[in-house]
Structure formats: C-alpha cells, structure tokens
Structure 1
Amino acid sequence: MRPQNALDWVAFVLLLIGAFAWGAFVTDVNVLDRLLEPIADPLDDTVFILIAAAGLYWIARVIGVGRRARQ
C-alpha cells in the first residue's frame, strides 16, 4: 500500500524510523536515545509515542477502517 497524502507520508517515515530504531535496539543500542538525549531527555519518548501512533494509523489504514464511511 502506497502513501497517498501528507499524513500517510509522515506516518510512513515515522514507521521507517521506528523500524531502524528497533533493529538497533535488538543489538542493545538505542539509537533514538543516543541521538535525542543530548537535546532533551523526554524527546526520545515523544518520538517513540509518535512512532506508535503512526503504527496504529497504518494498521487502521491497511485494514480499511473508515473506507466504508467514505464510499
């Protein structure tokens, strides 16, 4: 499924960031924590929350929630 609007693209990019962050987390390196902690400590938590919201958005989009309402 291809992103079709700006919200789709933002969510998709966040999913990619999250995928790479989890890939590095499995190897015991929290990339987001290392990159964002010097800027502001709660910033990495905020990014992880945005990544989770993007994941829920894409799950809903793939399942087709709201598609029936638009037709």
Structure 2
Amino acid sequence: MRPRTVLDWIAFVLLLVGAFAWAAFVTDVNVLDRALEPIADPLDDVVFVLIGLAGLYWIGRVAVGDRAPRR
C-alpha cells in the first residue's frame, strides 16, 4: 500500500524514523534522544508519541484497505 495523501506521507516518514530508532535501540543507542536532546529534552517524547500515532494511523489504513475506486 502506497502513501497517497500528505497525511499518509507524514505518517509513513514517522514510521521510518521509528523503525530506525528501534533498530538503534536494540544496539543500546537512543538516536532520537541524542539528536533532540540539545534542542529540548521533552521533544524526543513528543516525537515518540507522534510515531505511535502514525503507527495506529497506518494500522487503520491497512485494515480498511483501498476503498477508493480504481481508474
């Protein structure tokens, strides 16, 4: 399933960021914490919440499927 709308793309990019963050987490390096800590410490928590919401959005999107008519 491909992203079609702007919201789809934003959620998809957040999912990619989350996937890379989890991959780095396995190696005991929190990439988001290191990248965002100089800016603001709570910012990485906000990004993780957005990643979680993006995941829920895509679960719903995949569960509903393509309901748009094909041309």
Aligned-pair CA distance for 1:58: 0.0
Note the 1:23-62 alignment, pairs <5 A.
Answer: 23-62=23-62
- Structure 1-normalised TM-score? 0.90
- State how far apart, in whole Å, the 2-side matches of 1:61 and 1:5 are: 12
Identical aligned residues as a percent: 75
- Structure 2-normalised TM-score? 0.90
Q: Which runs of 5+ in 1 are unaligned?
A: none
Report the RMSD for the aligned CA atoms in angstroms.
Answer: 1.6
Note the 1:2-21 alignment, pairs <5 A.
Answer: 2-21=2-21
Give the length in aligned residue pairs: 68
Q: Which runs of 5+ in 2 are unaligned?
A: none
Greater share of helix: 1
Q: Which runs of 4 or more aligned residues in structure 1 lie more than 6 Å from their structure 2 counterparts after TM superposition?
A: none
